[in-house]
Structure 1
Amino acid sequence: MVKKIQKAGSAAQSSAAGFNSPLSGAIKDSAQQIWLAGLGAFSKAQEEGGKAFESLVKEGMSIQRKTQAVAEERISEATNRVSSMATDISSKAQGQWDKLENIFEERVAKALNKLGVPSARDVEALIERIDALNAQVQRLGGKAPAKAAARKASTPKKVAPAKKAAARKTTRRTKAA
């Protein structure tokens, strides 16, 4: 292209008129070539632009996956830390609650003791003592104390299921009549 212009330039110098037709043709040819080069560059940029866009999309997806994996890992670590802290706090709270419960039970027991109310241990010891005395009385040949006999007499005896069913039938018949 440069050679054509130089040839055209030398032809222009030889001509005294200034603009002659070979020079203007060379300029037109040069302008045409510049225009076509621009179109070619534009076309190539469009083709490669699509490829570049696709590669950028792929790279973006890769970065997004990596970022999500890191974020999920961090969330998992934070969740584990929070759950371990919650477990620690819960166990400490339970320990404090147990201490408070024991203190409350001790104070209630002291207050009841001051009022003369026997504790559950005292009642249990008395029951064991009564049972031991009853056993001694029975071994000596005596009858059971009146209260124990009365207690045994007042407890209802179990009725066999067949007798219960018969009793129900008779009560139904009497109600129907």
Structure 2
Amino acid sequence: MTTKDTIKSKINDAEEMARKIWLAGLGAYGKSVDEAQGRYDKLSEEANKMFDELVSKGETLEGDARSKFKSTTNDVEHRVADVRKKLGLDAEPADQRIDELSAKIDALTEAVAKLAANK
């Protein structure tokens, strides 16, 4: 082999080594892109799963709150009905009954005032 052939061989070897170095760098870049894409896909899937779990939990809490509110409302309505019944406001229209009770209170107040004046 001549010196010229030896130099060409060395140049070819160097070019092949440079090409392999280039390809290794390119492969490393491709691998990092694939790993990043995989991590992104996994995070995206987990985020969607977490969102769905939060929606489900929110629906459960909303149902519980509605149930408690309805129960409390029914309890209050029953208590108001009991008070109205005890006051005699459930048989007649409330305004009419209140007017009658006010008139009786006025009459009693007037009678007490007359008794107090006669003493």
**What is the TM-score of this pair, normalised by structure 2?**
0.60
Q: Secondary structure at the match of 2:62?
A: helix
Q: Secondary structure at the match of 2:78?
A: helix
Point out the structure with max Rg over C-alpha.
1
> Number of paired residues?
86
Cα deviations by residue, 1:125-173 (Å, 9 ceiling, x for unpaired): xxxxxxxxxxxxxxxxxxxxxxxxxxxxxxxxxxxxxxxxxxxxxxxxx
After TM superposition, give the deviation of residue 79 of structure 1 in Å: 1.0
CA distance in 1, matches of 2:81, 2:13: 99
Out of 61, 77, 90, the position equivalent to 2:62 is 90
Out of 7, 18, 28, the position equivalent to 1:46 is 18
Residue type of the partner of 2:42? V
Cα deviations by residue, 1:113-134 (Å, 9 ceiling, x for unpaired): 2112126xx65xxxxxxxxxxx
**What is the TM-score of this pair, normalised by structure 1?**
0.42
Gaps of 5+ in 1: 1-32, 124-177
> Equivalent residues in 2 for 1:34-113 (5 A)?
44-113=16-85
After TM superposition, give the deviation of residue 43 of structure 1 in Å: 5.4
CA distance in 1, matches of 2:33, 2:83: 73
Cα deviations by residue, 1:51-89 (Å, 9 ceiling, x for unpaired): 111111111111111211111111111111111111011
Q: Give % identity.
A: 14
CA distance in 1, matches of 2:77, 2:17: 87
CA distance in 2, matches of 1:97, 1:42: 81
CA RMSD of aligned residues (A): 2.5
CA distance in 1, matches of 2:17, 2:72: 79
